[in-house]
Amino acid sequence: MPHVELSLSEVADLGATRPGSLDRWASVVATATEPCLVLDAAGTVIADKIPPLLAIASGGLARGLLRVRDEAGASRTVDAVSSALCDGSSVVGSITYFAPVNPVSRVGHASQSPG
């Protein structure tokens, strides 16, 4: 089972000045309906709209696919399902479950040796 670690403590200030193209992409993320994010060249999150944060913002459920890298450097796609955590009527956080997405198998491409 791969270990997934997500830290949102380094989310950049959305009001901070950034290079022009990153600023434009950050505005795209801010208005996107699907989960997405923008990283700068140093790997800092510039704009963040991923299932854990969508659940907090909406107070409900959010779902999306994420690409993660394991310790060996291999990438895989996971299905992230997040739910808001509430204390009374206030949203206090979110919980996210990750499930690996299996690669699509190719049907009908088996090699056949001549008879």
What domains can be seen in the chain, in order of their start residue? 20-100 (3.30.450)
Q: What is the pLDDT of residue 28?
A: 85
User: What is the rounded average pLDDT for all residues in the chain?
Assistant: 75
**What whole-number distance in Å separates Cα of residue 62 and Cα of residue 51?**
5
Range list of β-strands (E), 2-115: 36-39, 45-49, 61-69, 75-87, 90-100
- CB 59 within 8 Å of CB 91: yes
pLDDT 10s digits, 30-67: 888 777 778 777 767 777 788 888 898 899 999 988 88
pLDDT of 85 strictly over 90 = yes
